[in-house]
Every structure is written in structure tokens, then in C-alpha cells.
Structure 1
Amino acid sequence: MDTKEPVRSEPSRRLLLAGALPAAAGALGVVGLTAGPASAETKSPVPRRRPLSPSPSPSPVLKEKTRAKFPADLETAGVAELAGLLDSGRITSVQLTREYLRRIGALDVQGPGLNTVRSLNPNALKEAGEADARRRRSRHNSPLLGIPVLLKDNIDAVGMPTTAGSVALKDSHPDKDAPLVALLRSAGAVILGKANLTEFANYLTNGMPGGYSSLGGQVLNVYDVSQTPSGSSAGPGAAASVGLATLTIGTETSGSILSPAAANSDVGVKPTVGLISRTGIVPIAASQDTAGPLVRTVADAAALLTVVTGEDPEDSATAANPLVGHDFSRDLSPTALRGARIGVVASQVPAAGTDNRTLWDAALAVLTARGATLVSVTLSTSSSIPGGSSVLSYEFKRDLNTYLARLPRNAPAKTLADVVAYNNAHSGRALKFGQVLATASQAMDLSPGSADSAKYLADRAQDLADSKDRIDALMADQNLTTLLFANSGSAGIGAKAGYPSVSVPAGYQAANRRPFNIAFLGKAWSEPVLLGYAYDYEQASQLRQPPSALNPSLFDNVGL
């Protein structure tokens, strides 16, 4: 879920590398933060230098007297470029991983203190070395071999805690990888670490700033630290944008990929529910939850989706997936928009005279020039349920209890009730913004035949009528291949339908360099079509600019 306003914060998480990493870490030393409660204000965040733990020395920046220039600009380099360098032997995965760790030290821990990374994988360099050995041993067909990936800190990966940003789960260590992580490891990707997020993916309380958690503190926006990085996948979104990993993975229930994509000028893919297994991911609501890429280019999104798409016997939604084994990179065509019929949702058109309207009109001109037919359409994205749907509140208790019950016996919490009780007992740190959503969910009566269960079933049916049925009818009536939205406008209706959206950068506001995206929404399993449209638009427009181009002061005196 998305939130809007950032908050000023002190560091409140510990990010450890040295000692846990193999000796190959060498001069990397310690990358760490002291833990302490974050202070709340309603003003925008201001970057502060984070004190290192256990001491300011050694620096997280590599300390060679002479360090050769790395042969790729990691702020912009994608999978294809880095895979080419790895295959040619110009770099190794160990070198690449070290370089990302150096960037994390310079930008995330020190320098502007972006605070995007919650924890680092203590085995990252070991995994990189194994990828290098695999590359030397034999030919391979994995585009992600040796490529570093950051995971949102609600995705299980053995060797790191899965905290969802909650102090109640700070010592929650899964005993198995989420299936999507297992697929990444099988492809030879390097799990670099876990990225910060809005706590419990923004389903702890109302009014929590995007990118804030009691355990992780506040993520900053890389284009303007006074603006929100949005949420809940703020850490993956900001880290991807500024090049702290080649690829990042976020999750979405309603807007948590699409909104950070727009805020951080990323390509974000919110897949069809069931395209990627949800097992091993801290949930909000199974009917809407999905993981998905937050990356810099459509090509990188396609490469990542190709690896993590799969069927999981523990996730029934994946049984209907017709795209298992599909190579999404083959869908990327510079002529994909030719013949497309795009429904331009009238309510999404920005107000006349604004920067966003100028950017929107320019995007429409590109789509038309690429051969698409634009059709103005009316689509209500609002709920018809008086007082709003109970679906998320009901499913949060049901699905979080299921997730927590599967954790090892010594897990710090086994039910939502445990989390609520822990937070109440540690309110000074855990409840800066309260836990009204968690408390309301805990009060739900999940027993069959209860009033809450009856309302839930009715609300879920109405949610589908308000979303899936409306979209299907409109697209059929107008013979549309996609619907077009501004920024994260497709989030709510697409989430309830379980339908995919692809968000792509479409420029920056002249007044304040704030990013602007457009998003293509389609019916279930239409990712190949949507990615093709996004790629054609991206290649024709070439509008994305890295943070260093629009916010160069972010990089002052960081040693990169």
C-alpha cells in the first residue's frame, strides 16, 4: 500500500557486513548503523550522516590507495551490460558485488544516508564467488548469473531475518527461502541483502510516512530528499533508482510497486496475482498480494520476471499461470505499439496548465507516433461499498497468522496477536504512528458464519465487480488492448482485480524535478503485451534520467 508524506528520522537500524562476510571482503570493513529510536516530525526528511558501528573506522568505502575505475556506471548499468562484462572476463561477480557494497556504504550509510538497505547478506561475496566459479566451469544460459539483487524485507531468504520493518520481527529468521528467492539462487543471482520498506507494507496503521518503519527508519527520495520516496516498497524503489543493486524486488497489495516506481523514476511491474509465488512473503491479503520488479529499464524487468515466474504447489494462484517458462525478453519489440488500442482513462488526465499535464500530453504524442490508437474512456475506480471494503482487514489476520505459524518454533511472533502485544509493550519505539489497522484486523472474527466472515465474502465479491468486471466490460466494449493511467493511478482497481500493470518513466516536472510515470494496465496474464508496450514507449521516448543528473548534490563528497 502507498503512503504520501515522509518524516524526518534518526537512524534506527543496524546494517552489518564485516565479520559476517568472508575474508574476501577485505578492505570493505564495517558497514553499520547504530540502532536508536527515530524521531517523528511532520516535516520532510533531511539527510544526516549515520554513525557507523562499532566505530567510524574503517570506512565502508574501499581503501585501496589506487582504485581502478570500474568499467561500468552502476547507477545506470543493466543486466545485459553487466552480463557482457562478466562473460568477457573484464569483471568478476565478486568485484561487482564489492562495488555495490561500496556504493551502499557511500550513499546509504554515509553521504546523504538514503537508508534504503535494511540488512546485507553475510554470504553475498561467497555467493558471488560461487557464481564466478560456475561461469568458469561451463557455458551457462542464465542472464542473472552473478548479478546482485536486493529483496524487500518482507521476502524470506535464509541467512537474513525477515522483519517487515517491525521491531517485533527483528529476530525472525526463516528456515527456507521464498520460492522466488530459490529461483533467483538457482539462476545464479547474488542475494545482496534486504531493502527497507514501510512497516508491514503499510498495513500497520494509518498516516505512516512512505518508506518509514520502526526498525528501519526513513528512506529518502533520491531525486529530492524533501519529497516522499513513497511506499511501501520505498527501499527497493530508491535503491534501484540510484544503483545500489542491479535489480530489486518489491511487493504490492495496492500501489506498493507502482507508487515507488513513479516516485523514484523506476520501471515497476505489478504482476497478475499468481504469476510469482507468494509463499515466504509477509502478507497483507492473498487476494491482492504479489511480488514484482522495481528496476531501471523494461529490459531488466523482463529478465527478472523470466527467472522468478513459476508454479508453486503451496500457492494455488500459480496453478493457473500460463506463463511458466516464458521468456519475457522476447516480448520486447520497438514496434509493439503499432496497432495497439489504448484506453486513455479520462479521470487520469492531469489538470490543465500543470507540469504533469505537459508530460502526459507528450506521452500521448509518443504513443500515437508509435502507431497506437488512443481512445478516451470513462472508468470508475472507486469502491461502491459504503464505508469501504473489509477485505484487507480480514485477510491480513488470516494470512499473517498462516505465514507466522510456518516460521521456526523459536520465531519471536507466531500470530498477529503476538505482534500487537509486543508493540503495545514496546510502544516507545514500535508505535510512533500507532497500529490501528493491525488492531482492527486482530479484532476480526474469522470463524465461518460470523458477521465478519459474511461481510468479507460480500465485500470480496463487490470488489471484483468494481474492478475486474468493470475493466473486462470496458476493454471488450471498446476493443482495447490496454488502459493508460498516470503515475500509480491503476493501483487500486488493478489490485482488486488481480490484474497486471507496468509503470515506465515519462519525464520530470520542470518546477521541482519530481518524476512522472505512465502505467499500462491489462487483463490477467497480459504481461507480455504490457511489457512490449512499455519497452516501445521507453525506447522511443528515452526520458529517464538518473538521480545524479537531476540531483547532483546527492553525490557531493561521497567518494564515488
Structure 2
Amino acid sequence: MNRRRMILSTAAATLGPASCVRTHKVPPLYSTLSTLSAMLKAEETEPALLVQHFLKRIAEIDKAGPCVNAVLEINPDAQRLADSAAQGALHGLPILLKDNIETADAMRTTAGSLALRNHTPKADAPLVTKLRAAGAIILGKTNLSEWANIRSPNSTSGWSARGGLTRNPHKLTHSASGSSSGSAAAVAAGLAPAAIGTETNGSIVSPASACGIVGFKPTVGLISGAGIIPITHHQDTAGPMTLSVRDAALLMQVLAKDFSVDLKPDALKGARLGVLRGHCGKNPQVLALFENALEKLRAAGAIIVDPVKLPNFREAGANSWKAMLIELRTDLNAYLEQRGGDVRSLAELIAFNEAHRSEEMPHFAQEFFEQSEKLGTPEIIAEGETAREKARRLAGPEGIDAALKEHRLDALICPTNDPAGLIDLAKGDTNERVASTPAAVAGYPHLTVPLGFVDDLPVGFSFMGTANADAQILALGHAFEEITFAMKRPQFLPG
């Protein structure tokens, strides 16, 4: 008789034939959603124990110890929710949300800004409704680059007036990147098995790669954007940030309508992958990791087409930025007005920040907000619509799609990022290379998977595809993950 059976048999004999006792395990650190789900189904643990485990981890790692400062707010109802979690694909699994995703509960939704701290949303964002219906427990909200990093060109990623500064758990002196800084750092630090971030341009894939986890930006529109504090609806999307591609796929099947994915172990065999040499950067250590990964891909049966040029990407990016500043005013005004509260327009938000300058602007100002506020005339809005149409066309059909078609490719690949830079609140971000703009402007899927480390800092590997190729991109990323095994636990190095 094995030890587990002996324990259960002894307990049953002690309590009588009608009683049953099960031992519940504390989950191993850095357990994936898939692992935790299997433990729950086998009754080796229970939702309440998982919540207790991660709350303890947050107290020890996030609020004390290394002080990563990734979690902005704990859901005070998390323990109660664990006792009544719905049955479903995510039953009993704790998940964190970026603090620009609305929840109608005891928590705030503020985009890290003090301007929104006194007024709660009227309803859950649709994606939150789906998570709850699938049995997920909303554990809390994560810190972010305030207003998703659209306030100033001199901002520091991971800083918000409400949440302070989130640090990279691998090297605490270095940036967690942004704007989903807290979501990435929390998952990397083992504070939750998964988090939901958002991206307009790089805000999922950049912090995910910088913190050494999986990040997936889906095709814009697959996940409802309602209930997410906006920058521009043309590029904004939520997406999963996880410890494995399998977990990202699991979340996508909950968050996106009629979404399914087959994670075949041989997905790379015969796959044609185009190397975006112009987006790989010049860091020799990153390039060495990338070349090693290419050899592993070839050994797995992938056909590597190298190099592949991405046409029109600079012009697409310039037109997108022009449109985005115009769309910011329109979309944010509409959001703030329907939400209600003390601040109901971008103009009122700018005034609030000026009135609370010592709290809101101790390190950087609000130049982008001020610039956007001036772009509200009908003529300028029409110019923005023209620029947006051109950006989407150049980035999508005449950009990514053209490159895929020319070389008969299944996906485009490159290193996601160069290692994150040092945090310097006085000077702002150091703006290391991140390959995010083409897929972001096109609204196409982009997956980053851990590639390796340079000077103790993570580097990611990117897969980009055409619109609605999300399942294929996830399948390629999963197969890549299986042959590289590049994820490592953070060491919380002091510098």
C-alpha cells in the first residue's frame, strides 16, 4: 500500500465507514493554470487553499521581501469567491487583472490614476464576466504604467500615481517594461498563475518578454474591448499573460467567442517561418540566442526563410501614431462621460493632474494628453480617420500579409526585445528595442515566448501572423516552447 492510500485508509478507519478525509496540497511555486486545474480536479487542493497560497506569496514577495510592487489591490472578496466558484474551464483558478479592466465589485478600476479612485464602474467588463462564468477567481488588480503609458514621452514604465513603481523580479533595479508591468511581474514572481493585460502597442509583449513569461496579443476584436479604459479602439485589446503557451490558449478559449486551438507537438514540422532581420536589433548576445533557437526550429522540421523584409512598416507606424493621438481624445472622452464620476473628459483629467501635480506628476508631465486635447476639430478628426485607414492598410494587407504571401509563410519571427534597461525616474524609460509595432498597428496576433537570458535579464521570441491566425500562432509557440525550455524562476537580484 502506498503512503497516500495508507493515510486515507487510516483516517477512514478512525472516523468510521461513512467518513472520507482528503489531504490537500499547497501547490508548487510557479504552477501553471493547467497544473493547478489538474490538482483541483483530482481533489489534491481546493480553491480556498489556492487563494490563501497566492495571498501569502503576495504578502511575502510583493509587499515585503524584494518588494516587486506588482499587485495594486487585493480583492477583499477573493476568499468568499473561492467557496462559490462556478464550475468551468477555469474553476477555482486565481487570476489577476490589469487596473484598466473594469470590475463592478469592491475594487477600483483607475488606470493607475488618482482621478478615478473615487468612482467604481457600473458593471464588469465582458471579459471579466466570461472569466467568472468559467469559474476563475479575480484575485486582485495589477499596477501598470499610468493611463497605459499614453500620458508623456518621458514616462517611466511601471509607475503610476496610485500604485507607485513596479520592478522587474529578475533584477529589481531594472524595468518591468510597460504598460502591463504589474501583470507581467506578478506572473513572473509567482504571485498568481496568470494575469490579463492589455496592449495598444507593445503593452503585453514588451513586459512579458522583459519579465520572462508568455504574453499573447490576439487579433483586435477577438476579445471584447468594452469595459477597458481606452487609448484607441483600433488597436486596444486585452490578452493573457501566463507561464506557458498552453495556459494562454486556455484563457483564449474562455475569453474569445468560438475559439479553439490544437496544440500539436509537431506543429513546427513543415512550418515556414520568415525571419524579420530588420527587427532583430544589434545586441550580439540576443542575436546569439536567436541563432541557437533557429537551429532548434530547423531540427524540429521548420523551414526558415531568412531574411524577410517587412514593407511599409515605418510609414504605417507614423500614420498610426498620428491617428492615435486624435483617437485618444475621442475614445477617452466617450469612456469618461459614460462612466461618470468627478472627471468626465480629457480636459477635466488634464486639469485634475495639474491640481494634484505633486502626487500625479512628480516625475513626468502630461504632454501627450495636452497635445491630444488640441486635436478635436472636425477637420483634424477626418485627418485622423484617413491616417488610420492608411496605417492599417500599410501594416496589414500591404505589410505583414504581403510578406507572408511573397514567401508562402505561416508566421514571421524575431527576438521580441533587448534586455530591459535600468529604472531612472528622473530621466524616464531608456527605450530598448521591442518588436511590437507591425502587429499592433495591423491589429494582428503577436505571441512572445521566453528565449533566454542576457546579463540575468529575460529575452523573448516573437511569432506574428495574419488576422485571426491566433490558433496557429499559439500552436507554433507551444511547439517552440517544448523544444527550448527557456523560462527560469526570478532570483530577485538587487542589481
TM > 0.5 fold call: yes
Q: Decide whether aligned partners of structure 1 residues 348 and 387 sit closer, same or farther in structure 2, where only a CA change above 3 A counts.
A: closer
User: Would you say the 8 A contact 1:490–1:521 is kept in 2?
Assistant: no
User: Would you say the 8 A contact 1:298–1:535 is kept in 2?
Assistant: yes
- The yes-or-no answer on 1:122 pairing with 2:68 is no
Aligned to 1:542: 485
Deviation at 1:348, TM superposition (A): 2.7
Instruction: Provide the rounded CA distance (Å) in 2 between the counterparts of 1:254 and 1:459.
Output: 16
Aligned to 1:508: 453
Instruction: Provide the rounded CA distance (Å) in 1 between the counterparts of 2:263 and 2:286.
Output: 27
What is the identity, as a one-letter code, of the residue corresponding to 1:546? R
Task: Summarize the alignment of residues 7-26 of structure 1 with structure 2, pairs less than 5 Å apart.
Answer: none
- The yes-or-no answer on 1:475 pairing with 2:407 is no
Aligned to 1:256: 203
- The yes-or-no answer on 1:208 pairing with 2:155 is yes
- The yes-or-no answer on 1:424 pairing with 2:370 is no
User: Would you say the 8 A contact 1:350–1:360 is kept in 2?
Assistant: no
User: Would you say the 8 A contact 2:27–2:45 is kept in 1?
Assistant: no
Task: Summarize the alignment of residues 89-488 of structure 1 with structure 2, pairs less than 5 Å apart.
Answer: 89-131=43-85, 140=87, 142-159=88-105, 160-309=107-256, 324-328=257-261, 331-351=262-282, 354-376=284-306, 377-380=308-311, 381-383=313-315, 389-407=321-339, 409=340, 411-432=341-362, 433-447=364-378, 450=379, 452-468=380-396, 469-488=398-417
| Identity across the alignment (%) | 36
Instruction: Provide the rounded CA distance (Å) in 2 between the counterparts of 1:423 and 1:349.
Output: 38
User: Would you say the 8 A contact 2:96–2:139 is kept in 1?
Assistant: yes
SS in 1 for 2:215: strand
Instruction: Provide the rounded CA distance (Å) in 1 between the counterparts of 2:232 and 2:183.
Output: 20
Deviation at 1:367, TM superposition (A): 1.1
Match 1:530 to one of 473, 478, 486: 473
1:37-87: CA deviation from partner (whole Å, max 9, x where unpaired): xxxxxxxxxxxxxxxxxxxxxxxxxxxxxxx9953223x201121112212
What is the identity, as a one-letter code, of the residue corresponding to 1:73? P
Aligned to 1:520: 463
Deviation at 1:501, TM superposition (A): 0.5
Deviation at 1:252, TM superposition (A): 0.2
Q: Decide whether aligned partners of structure 1 residues 296 and 86 sit closer, same or farther in structure 2, where only a CA change above 3 A counts.
A: same
User: Would you say the 8 A contact 1:486–1:517 is kept in 2?
Assistant: yes
1:213-233: CA deviation from partner (whole Å, max 9, x where unpaired): 111110000000111100000
Deviation at 1:388, TM superposition (A): 7.4
Instruction: Provide the rounded CA distance (Å) in 1 between the counterparts of 2:416 and 2:227.
Output: 29
| Larger deviation, residues 387-396 vs 86-95 | 387-396
What is the identity, as a one-letter code, of the residue corresponding to 2:224? S
User: Would you say the 8 A contact 1:163–1:171 is kept in 2?
Assistant: no
SS in 2 for 1:390: helix
What is the identity, as a one-letter code, of the residue corresponding to 1:492? T
- The yes-or-no answer on 1:71 pairing with 2:22 is no
SS in 1 for 2:275: strand
**TM score, norm. by length of structure 1:** 0.78
Instruction: Provide the rounded CA distance (Å) in 2 between the counterparts of 1:404 and 1:96.
Output: 36
User: Would you say the 8 A contact 1:116–1:196 is kept in 2?
Assistant: yes
Instruction: Provide the rounded CA distance (Å) in 1 between the counterparts of 2:92 and 2:293.
Output: 36
Instruction: Provide the rounded CA distance (Å) in 1 between the counterparts of 2:319 and 2:46.
Output: 56
Q: Which runs of 5+ in 2 are unaligned?
A: 1-22, 418-433
1:484-520: CA deviation from partner (whole Å, max 9, x where unpaired): 02115441111110001010001111xx111111110
Q: Decide whether aligned partners of structure 1 residues 127 and 387 sit closer, same or farther in structure 2, where only a CA change above 3 A counts.
A: closer
SS in 1 for 2:343: coil
**TM score, norm. by length of structure 2:** 0.88
Deviation at 1:470, TM superposition (A): 1.3
Instruction: Provide the rounded CA distance (Å) in 2 between the counterparts of 1:494 and 1:539.
Output: 24
Deviation at 1:552, TM superposition (A): 6.7
1:403-439: CA deviation from partner (whole Å, max 9, x where unpaired): 11221x4x12111112111101111111221001111
Instruction: Provide the rounded CA distance (Å) in 2 between the counterparts of 1:227 and 1:204.
Output: 21
Deviation at 1:553, TM superposition (A): 7.1
Q: Decide whether aligned partners of structure 1 residues 388 and 471 sit closer, same or farther in structure 2, where only a CA change above 3 A counts.
A: closer
Instruction: Provide the rounded CA distance (Å) in 2 between the counterparts of 1:386 and 1:186.
Output: 40
Q: Which runs of 5+ in 1 are unaligned?
A: 1-67, 135-139, 310-323, 555-560
User: Would you say the 8 A contact 1:394–1:446 is kept in 2?
Assistant: no
- The yes-or-no answer on 1:494 pairing with 2:439 is yes
SS in 1 for 2:65: coil
SS in 2 for 1:423: helix
What is the identity, as a one-letter code, of the residue corresponding to 2:371? A
1:90-128: CA deviation from partner (whole Å, max 9, x where unpaired): 211011101100111111111111110111111111110
SS in 2 for 1:249: strand
User: Would you say the 8 A contact 1:467–1:497 is kept in 2?
Assistant: yes
What is the identity, as a one-letter code, of the residue corresponding to 1:542? F
Instruction: Provide the rounded CA distance (Å) in 2 between the counterparts of 1:508 and 1:395.
Output: 37
Deviation at 1:465, TM superposition (A): 3.2
